[in-house]
Amino acid sequence: MAETIRAALARAAGELAGWSASARLDAELLMAAALGVERDALLLGRLDDPSPTGFEILLDRRRRHEPVAYIVGQRDFWTITLEVGPGVLIPRPDSETLIDAAVDHFGSPGPATILDLGTGSGALLLAALAEWPGARGVGVDLSAAALAIATRNAERLGLAARAELRAGDWGQGIEGVFDLILCNPPYIESDAMLAPEVREYEPASALFAGPDGLDDYRRLAPEIARLLAPTGLAAIEIGWTQAAAVSDLFAGQGLVASVRQDLGGRDRAILVRH
């Protein structure tokens, strides 16, 4: 007798539980992808169906610690769903802290202009553009692979007309000022120990930033001071132990910095104003 989806999910979740903090969710997302349905449809009406053969193939990739987002090819972020894949950092819920802070600052009118430095999949820029239909934005990244994914995301979400995506090294070559600057730079110390799904799969260039994790903030501080509009806001993600050091770097450029915590109560963003 064929294994049911219910039984296959229980088996997979039990197997992954030894090292994945989201074992049951992992199994459900992989099963939904194998079936070609949304997770809700799986849970509401398919649990007693036979498990599809494709599930075991996807599960085997997860057994090798490949991130679920790469296996299924997408990740939800804020109010949008993004394509993700090798060569681009997987958007984390913690990064939504930056958008949440911007919503508090600008309210429903929103910013007119947005700059996303190190746009990756386009997560921050496209989430902001989806939030404020009157805004236009620029996303910058050094990675051609990331820009290709960001471009496809902008097109699929119907935001391409308001999103300019360009190759660049942080703010170099960018002119003018922006109401909202968003940035999730690399901030992990070069010798830090990371989980295998991060260390072995996600791009090192989006993770590591020198011995103290601050190399990119040192470059960003003067560029953000130049590019931020007089009444604007820059929301920059940080590691949870870096608030004081990063705040000092921006204060050295004559900017005022405050700290924003994520939903877990950890320092997650530096909010910068003139």
What pTM, to 2 d.p., does this model score?
0.95
DSSP string, 80-119: EEEE--TTSPPP-GGGHHHHHHHHHHHTTT--SEEEEET-
Domains and CATH numbers, the chain: 5-64 (1.10.8), 78-273 (3.40.50.150)
In sequence order, what E strands does 130-213 have?
136-141, 163-167, 178-183
Question: What confidence tens digit (pLDDT) does each residue in 190-213 have?
Answer: 999 999 999 999 999 999 999 999
**H/E segment holding residue 257:** strand 256-261
Question: What confidence tens digit (pLDDT) does each residue in 27-40 have?
Answer: 999 999 999 999 99
- Residue 2: per-residue pLDDT: 84
- Residue 144: per-residue pLDDT: 96
- Residue 84: per-residue pLDDT: 97
Question: What confidence tens digit (pLDDT) does each residue in 101-112 have?
Answer: 999 999 999 999
Question: What confidence tens digit (pLDDT) does each residue in 3-15 have?
Answer: 999 999 999 999 9
Burial of 211 (0-12, 13-18, 19+ CB in 10 A): exposed
Token pair 């820059």 is found at: 234
Q: Please determine, for residue 75, whether its predicted confidence score (pLDDT) is greater than 80.
A: yes
Q: Please determine, for residue 1, whether its predicted confidence score (pLDDT) is greater than 90.
A: no
Q: Return d(Cα 99, Cα 78) in angstroms, integer.
A: 8
The per-residue pLDDT of the chain, averaged, comes to 97
Burial of 174 (0-12, 13-18, 19+ CB in 10 A): middle
Strand partners, 180: 114, 233
